[in-house]
Amino acid sequence: MGRMEELVELLNKYAKEYYELDNPTVSDAEYDALYDELVMLEQFGGLVLPDSPTRRVGGKPNEGFRQIKHKERLYSLDKTKTIEGVGEWIAKIQKEQPVAFTLEYKYDGLTLNLSYEGGRLVRACTRGDGEIGEEVTEQVKTIKNVPLTIPFKGEIDVSGEGLMPLSSLEEYNRDAKVPLKNARNGVAGAIRNLDVKETERRRLSFFAYNVGYHKGIEFTSQHEVHAFLIEQGFNVGDYFKVVNNFEEIKKLLEEAEIKRPTLDFLIDGMVFKVDRFDLREMLGFTEKFPRWALAYKFKAEELSTEVKDVLWQVSRTGKLNPLAVLDPVEIGGATVSRATLSNINEIRRKKIRIGDRVFVRRSGDVIPEITGVAEECEGAKEVVAPAVCPVCGSPVIEKGVFLYCSNNENCAPKIISKIEHFCSKDGLDIDGLSEKTIEQFYNEFGLKSADELFTLKKEDLLSLEGFKEKKAENVIAGIEKAKHTTLTRFLTAIGVPNIGKKAAKLLEQTFGSLDKLMQATVEDIASIEDFGLITASSVVEYFSSEENRLFIQRLLDNGITFLQEEKHEGVFSGRTVVITGTLSSYKRSAAQEEIRKRGGNVADSVSKQVDLVVVGADAGSKLDKAKKLGIEIVDEAGFLAMLAE
């Protein structure tokens, strides 16, 4: 079998797994690499095999659903993986005159086509092969942001992407007997599921981006279509730009790739379209693609590779964290050879074994994670949970789904990791105290708690190998400087469970002092926005521990003090204010800044710690809670009057 035949057979197998079985065994990036190789061979040899995937637009329709012929063909997009490729495409189109392009996210889900007649949703279909799709109307009706009726009373087809938000995926997998491999697989399986209740359980979203067949209205540009979709009540996302300058385009593409990991849904690139429809008609189509559109693909975030081994590392809390050792693979410009596995239950739920091939995902600087098994391999071995700590040999104890070393006092990795976290950039930010130096303190001085750092003297450090006068002075100066810190840094440093930098900042803004926080109840803390009962309980439990209270007192006795933000005086002095609803005079961020300028604190949620609630239009549950708690309430006019005082 020649290489071309081999590629066609492989790609058709992978396409069937993806489009028809909803069970891919390779990542998009790996499929694309093989597809690009096939295209190159076809162009070089001038031959396209009859069953080549390059002849197809999408997947074969699933026979479990009624087949629907689209009124207009749904084309896929030509693509490039380089900014230079975008520049060449733009230059070709702009050869004779300046041309404006629209720029949108390339959503990574399942393409859907919604048909409306007389203002009602009458049918929803998948793209299928571009000409024939599957009718999935009842499944699509479970998507909460799909309008069942629209103001336009003519006939119109609206195309868009069905997506499973990453937050929905995380929530679904928390209780799923069979976890989903990724959000893309999640939406495909949901829409192609004959059980409509299962579709609804996955809490999908729909993003509209195009109008196909239409009768009773005309459009002259993509930006007109975009405005029309908004008027009709469709979710179009928050990214749509009209551009024509290549330097600006380069900057926008770079910014989008940076923002990508922060989104709650998958995108795998950006889409350019010629804005004017009359120019589109002149440019026309190839067999598969419109010549007036182009997809720019980001670097791959997910690939498949083999699990070589599973190691167990001991964290600062004593938790044993499983870490997968992988056959190294390049993802997003970085070599990935390790991936987090969370806990033994997660390993068993995802059916991960040593020797299997798995999907590995990396977003920005986040630790790579295994999202699911790509291929079960012969001879693969089950992952066995350790019975003893891999470092000190002490018995392992179970707490919920996690395993912990039972040796609280003398397990070196726990002690060193806790102190390293205390000194870290988000903690007290003590220069010169690396893991290696802290390990040196542990071995030479028997240092076992972060408060003991503040008892060290320059003479002590000069007795250590590698410490000269200057280095010793710098470390002692760094420790001394760290005594004057913020409550946010302090809470992050001492390692309150489930509290990172952002949560610590919210606690400081809400309670203002360590004393008030240590006296707070679970209800007080849970009322803060983005805090739940589990996080609130862990905070209260931490401060209820006699051991932790003694640790904090030793830190305070050693000179820890808290810097106070400079406070302005004004009408809101000493008061905590919440804004709810929409203000016509100010954006919320600007209104909050006006409050701070006049001495007030700003909170995001209503609790007993709040003194005043400012109510704008369309206020919701925060207003109800403020009334229930008897908190002072003012409308926008009252707020403006206070600002004028």
Q: Which residues are catalytic?
A: 106
Backbone angles phi, psi at 570, to 5 degrees: 170, -165
Residue 502 CB neighbours (<10 A): 11
Q: DSSP strand E in 416-507: where? A: 484-485
Number of H helices and E strands in the chain, helices first, is: 24, 26
CB 187 within 8 A of CB 202: yes
CB 594 within 8 A of CB 586: yes
Residue-wise DSSP of 241-265: EEE--HHHHHHHHHHHHHHGGGSSS
- Any bridge partners for residue 402, and if so which? 399
Nearest-angstrom CA–CA distance, 353 and 347 = 8
Nearest-angstrom CA–CA distance, 642 and 10 = 70
Q: Which residue from 312, 370, 361 is spatially nearest to 340, judged by alpha carbons?
A: 370
CB 355 within 8 A of CB 381: yes
- Any bridge partners for residue 293, and if so which? 273
- Any bridge partners for residue 117, and if so which? 120, 155
Contacts for 256 with CB less than 8 Å, ≥ 6 apart: 105, 239, 267, 270
CB 153 within 8 A of CB 216: yes
Q: Which residue from 33, 71, 72, 637 is spatially nearest to 297, judged by alpha carbons?
A: 33
Q: Which residue from 177, 248, 173, 234 is spatially nearest to 203, judged by alpha carbons?
A: 173
Q: What is the CA radius of gyration of the chain?
A: 29
CB 35 within 8 A of CB 53: yes
Residue 474 CB neighbours (<10 A): 13
The enclosing H or E element of 112 equals: strand 110-117
CB 418 within 8 A of CB 495: yes
* Cα angle for residues 331, 335, 339 (degrees, 5° grid): 80
What one-character DSSP code corresponds to residue 411? -
Residue 431 CB neighbours (<10 A): 14
Residue 45 CB neighbours (<10 A): 10
